[in-house]
Chain A
Amino acid sequence: MAGPSVADRIADRAAAATPMTVVRTVRGLTDRAIAWIFVAPTIFLLLAINIFPLIWTINLSFTNYRANRLTRPAEYIGLRNYERLLTDPDIWHNMQVTAHFVLWTLFFQVVIGFALAWLINRQFKGHGFWTTIIVLPMMLSPAVVGNFWTFLYQPQIGLFNYVISFFTGVDPSSFDMIGSVALAPWSIVIVDTWMWTPFVMLICLAGLRSIPESIYEAAEIDRASPWRQFWTITVPMVLPFLMLAVLFRGIENFKMFDLVVELTSGGPGSVTELASINLKREAFEKWRTGYASAYAIILFVTVFGLANIYVKALNKVKER
């Protein structure tokens, strides 16, 4: 070990010689007091706006309270809200729509995002600049993006339809991405993929850059083929990063609201009505507050449970 500098040694000795608590009370507040004063406002705000409402929601979920009827007091109805929710076929429909959206967006974003990251990692000239360009969409307001894509998706005049017809020869007024039952679920997948692929790409890029070059050099000496290097070095080393990206995107898309509401508002019919959109209708249009609270708790528990299982798997991959 290299010897510490003279200043360090003096500092150490001074620190060791003086009882800490004495020094610091004399010179103003104790560390303990500072810690509490610094943390207290944050804890208070988080309790007031995160924890307290959560407890209130749990409480409401056992009642038949309706927020638009101020005079009628809420009655406790036990588990009836949960019972009705879990046996309601409409909820299962919304869950299926959500699952379709989450799984396909994850699939496209992982494939395209990883491929892009791998290409950018070839370090061609100007890759930093182009990475910044690619990243732009994900920082925009999802609601505004959704709103504007309704314009791009217009049959006949929309740019998206025009580009598709330019490359395939299909009449641009013959299909309606948002209005058609068959295409609408894909229209939201396309926009979300456009917006969020850069997120997966950035995380994969960080993963690729974390691989030390010496591993590849060793593999090269062992005459491992590029293909073998890719599957035995690159993929396993990037996997924890990729899984983290999937976790974040999975959670975000499970609770997706703004983008899709502005794009299709759940239609046509309810083919793009994600769980969050359905929840909003129950809570703020039908005003079934108690029922919606139970719904919210079920959604929360679902994400929470899935995320926990997933994080366990992620930690196993990391340990390897």
Chain B
Amino acid sequence: MSAEAHSVVAPSTGWRRFAAVVVIAYALAMLVPLGWIFITGFKSPNDAIAYPPKVFFEPSLEGYVNVFTTRTRQSQEYMDSLPPPETWYDELVRSRNMVIAGPSRFGQRFMNSLIVGFGATFLTVFLGTLAAYAFSRFKVPLKDDLLFFILSTRMMPPIAVAIPIFLMYRTLGLNDTHLGLILLYTAVNLSLAVWLLKGFMDEIPREYEEAALIDGYTRLQAFRKVVLPQAMTGIAATAIFCLIFSWNEYAFALLLTSGQAQTAPPFIPTIIGEGGLDWPAVAAGATLFMIPVLVFTVLLRKHLLRGITFGAVRK
């Protein structure tokens, strides 16, 4: 180890450079599959299945058009009898001897993901904040068992949970409804949210509230005007975690929803074109679905560790 570094334990420049090279090489290599999804979305179906795989190609929006539309193949005479195409996407589809028959179900599935994701997140954060405050400030039974409880609910495979939920929802008429999925995701995320939020609230000094109480605030006012503003960062981070988890969830959505309330994850793999999978359309759908998560991950990076370990590691 070098002696010229100001601290005896600081890594030498050589080590640092070596570390940088290896880590950056690893990061870039691991990005390749993601980059490949992204560029495949802009390929024509033939370019997508070319050998050797094409890195340079003429970009096309066909995948994006295909993921949002259903198309029917028509005879040449019919195509000739049509008036000239009105829009660029009409033209693109017609160049494949097809006409647009209508919108696909992707938009609706995406919408369902938004409704369920935001619905569940709102409910989780609302209930979670209240419960976390109580757990953080008052003596509540079961307080010490909470982390253990969170862990044990996560030990059940989702399929195992889905069996009784399926039967329960069938009786209640909640199968294939937004509400059913929202309630389930709320319950699944709630224990995590309470634990995370409790951690954030424990970090807010009690003295602030005590001072507010002395000033004549009621408990509820102190909670609303003193604790909530202080906890806002933590609440936002927790909300983003809940949103990502609900957004990505697959097993419950697959088993408990079908036509009406199905979210995007079980739907994307079923985007099938003529003659096998329409890879650019699948890639386009996957890209649109993943972009919000990537943006949120970058926003969350400071709290990431805490969220994924359910608050067990706080950094």
Task: Name the residue among B16, B52, B250 with the largest chain A CB count within 10 angstroms.
Answer: B250
Are A136 and B166 closer than 8 Å at their CB atoms?
A: no
Give the docked Cα–Cα distance between A50 and B17 (Å).
50
Interface of A is mostly: helix
Give the docked Cα–Cα distance between A252 and B183 (Å).
22
Q: Mark A157-192, 1 if CB is under 8 A from B, else 0.
A: 111001000000000100000000000000000000
B268 within 8 A of A: yes
Minimum Cβ distance to chain B for residue A190 (Å)? 11
Interface of B is mostly: helix
Are B247 and A141 closer than 8 Å at their CB atoms?
A: yes
- Chain A interface bracket (under 10, 10 to 19, 20 to 34, 35 or more): 35 or more
Q: Select one of A14, A122, A258, A307 contacting B11, CB under 8 A.
A: A122
Q: Mark A102-145, 1 if CB is under 8 A from B, else 0.
A: 00000000000000100110111111101111111111111110
Q: Select one of A57, A220, A289 contacting B9, CB under 8 A.
A: A220
Q: Mark A256-283, 1 if CB is under 8 A from B, else 0.
A: 0110001000000000000110011001
How many residues of B are in contact with the other chain, CB < 8 A? 110
Are B183 and A49 closer than 8 Å at their CB atoms?
A: yes
Minimum Cβ distance to chain B for residue A307 (Å)? 6
A101 within 8 A of B: no
A299 within 8 A of B: yes
Q: Which residues of B come within 8 Å of A, CB atoms? A: 1, 7-9, 11, 15-20, 22-24, 26-27, 30-34, 36-37, 40, 49-53, 127-128, 130-131, 133-135, 137-140, 149, 151-168, 170, 183-184, 186-188, 190-191, 194, 207, 210-211, 213-214, 216-221, 244, 247-251, 255, 265-266, 268-269, 277, 279, 282-283, 286, 289-290, 293-294, 296-298, 301, 304-305, 308-309, 312-313, 315
**6 residue pairs, one from A and one from B, having the closest CB atoms:** A296-B160, A49-B187, A53-B164, A28-B218, A255-B157, A141-B248
Q: Which residues of A come within 8 Å of B, CB atoms? A: 7-8, 11, 14-15, 23-24, 27-29, 31-32, 34-39, 41-43, 45-46, 48-50, 52-54, 56-57, 60, 67, 116, 119-120, 122-128, 130-144, 147-149, 151-152, 154, 156-159, 162, 172, 194, 199, 202-203, 206, 209, 213, 216-217, 220, 226, 241, 244, 248, 251, 254-255, 257-258, 262, 275-276, 279-280, 283-284, 289, 292-293, 295-297, 299-300, 303-304, 307
